[in-house]
């Protein structure tokens, strides 16, 4: 999933994904180097992360 797709799925801004995803436990995969690098996320990992965030 792209950063935009993750942001839409989580209903947050793309800047939140860039800033907080790693700290929140969503591990991005980086393709490229430097400012041109693209971040991608495995859909299955995003769905699993959302399940873990459920309040009991």
pLDDT at residue number 1: 96
Report the domain count for the chain: 1
pLDDT in tens, 1-56: 999 999 999 999 999 999 999 899 999 999 999 888 899 999 999 999 999 988 76
From 12, 10, 11, 19, select the one nearest 39 (Cα to Cα). Answer: 19
pLDDT at residue number 54: 83
Length of the chain: 56
Q: Which domain holds residue 27?
A: 3-52
Write the CA distances from 31 to 2, 7, 9, integer angstroms.
11, 18, 21
pLDDT at residue number 34: 87
């Amino acid at each position: 999933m792209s950063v935009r797709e993750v942001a839409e799925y989580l209903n947050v801004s793309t800047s939140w994904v860039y800033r907080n995803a790693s700290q929140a436990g969503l591990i991005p995969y980086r393709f490229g180097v430097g400012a041109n690098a693209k971040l991608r996320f495995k859909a299955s990992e995003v769905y699993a992360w959302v399940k873990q965030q459920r309040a009991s």
